[in-house]
Structure formats: structure tokens, C-alpha cells
Amino acid sequence: MIRMIKFSILATVSFISFAIIFNFLSHREPIFSLKAIKITGLKEASEKEIMAALSPYIGTNILTVNTEGIKKAILSHPYIKDVRVKRVYPFYLYVEIVERKPYALWVKEDGSMRVVDEDGFSYRGMLKNEEGSMFLIHAANEKDVKEALTILNKWFAEGLISRDFVSEIDYRDGGIRLISSENVEIILGKEEFEKRIKKAKAVLNDAKRKGLLIRSIDARFEKGAIIREKREG
């Protein structure tokens, strides 16, 4: 009797195991098949575009899915600066996206404008409501934009000037010319930038104390600076 019960249990277990294996093979789908991808961090980029780049990975095994390939596919979108991919077992991926943030407007040689991030990466055109919301960078190419921002960001970090101080920067052939938020032209030339911006700031502070209205400061000279005042009326 006991032997019959054992045989019955074994037969039942075997049948269930066979049914599971048959069902698995008939569907031809991995046990840990990737069924969904959850994306966070999108603001400007289109989720539809991101999902289109990731669609080839749906249905693959989550244990062996190429996460580096997924990162590369997402980073190919110009709006995306960084991405993190995490497996959430058993069925989906969690994708955390960091988008580029508008930082400045690059004025190109032809007069058109491009939005750049804090590293000087040009990633899209300017929107209508963005004109006047960021400082301008006049430069011949993206390399010069990046060089100009490297200098400015260093000054911001060191407290030499604030971001609000800058309205425009003209960076050509290694030379710098600034327009302040108070519409004062500051000429720094091609060397000793930090020394000259400190000099120009000192001149501006002194002019404010004296009630002078300054139109431009040429700080390229070893001793002093050439100052042009604004004419009233």
C-alpha cells in the first residue's frame, strides 16, 4: 500500500514537471525574460524615442542582457548626459536618466543659436522662451565654447565673478571680451585672465563708490586700465 502511494506521488510530480517543461518549451521564452523597462529622469527627451532604442532588448534574458549596450543606446540621444541601469528580478530593468541642462547660448558665426550644457556640449536649438534666460557665448566652434566655459566655470567656482555677472562672452583666437549684466564691456585680451578680471572688478567697484557710469574697461595693460565712461542723455 505504501509502495502504491509513493508511486502515485512520484507519477504526479513527474507529470507536473513534464507539464512545466512542456509549457516552457512551447512558449520558447526564458524564465527570466525581460518584460518591462522602467525609465525615470526624463524631462526634455521623448520617452518614445528612448523606448525605441531599447525595444530590441525586450524579451531577452534579464540575467544576460547587455546593460552596457543599453547605456550606449540611451547615451546616443543628444539630450542624455548620463544613465544608470539596474536589474530588478525577475522581469524588468530600472533605468535612471540624467539629462543635460541648459546653461548658456552659443551664438554661431552665422548668427544662429544653440543651447549648451555646463561642459559646453551643444545639444539642441534655442526655444523661443529661452532668449535672455542664459548668457551668450560668441565663438567660432564648439571647441572654443568648451574652452570659454572651462575658464568661466573656474571663475564662478573660485568666486571671482558670479554667473549673474556675465551677459556675454566673446572668445576668439584665445582672447576674451566680456559684457557684464550692467552692459559694461570688459576687454581681457589673451593672457593673465584672472589678474585682469580682478583688476576690472576693482575698477567697477571703485566706479560705483564714486557714482561713475562705466561703458568699457580695457584691462590688458600692466599698470592700470583704460576706462570709458557712459555719456548721460
Instruction: Give me the CATH number covering residue 196.
Output: 3.40.50.11690
Question: What span, in angstroms and rounded, lies between the C-alpha atoms of 112 and 125?
Answer: 9
Give the three cell numbers for residue 11: 507519477
> What pLDDT is recorded for position 232?
65
- The residue among 72, 99, 126 that closes a domain is 99
Domain boundary pick from 99, 119, 138: 99
Residues 50 and 161 in one domain: no
223 and 153 within one domain: yes
The reported pLDDT for the residue numbered 69 is 93
Question: pLDDT tens digits, residue range 110-163?
Answer: 999 999 999 999 999 999 888 788 999 999 999 999 999 999 999 999 999 999
Q: Name the residue with cell 574697461.
A: 217
- Residue 14 within any structural domain of the chain: no
Measured distance between the N- and C-terminal CA atoms of the chain, rounded to whole angstroms: 116
Q: Which domain holds residue 75?
A: 30-99
Examine the domain organization and report whether 72 and 110 are in the same domain: no
DSSP secondary structure code for residue 139 in this structure = -
82 with 69, same domain: the answer is yes
Does 8 reside within a domain?
no
Residue 161: how many other CB atoms lie within 10 Å: 18
Q: How many domains does the chain have?
A: 2
What pLDDT, on a 0 to 100 scale, did the predictor assign at position 224?
A: 84
Count Cβ atoms below 10 Å from residue 126 Cβ, excluding itself: 17
Residue 10: inside a domain, yes or no? no
Backbone angles phi, psi at 133, to 5 degrees: -90, -10
pLDDT at 194 over 80: yes
Buried b (16+ CB within 10 A) or exposed e, 87-114: eeeeebbebebebbebbbbbbbeeeebb
Confidence of residue 216 (pLDDT cuts 50, 70, 90): very high
Q: Are 121 and 219 part of one and the same domain?
A: yes
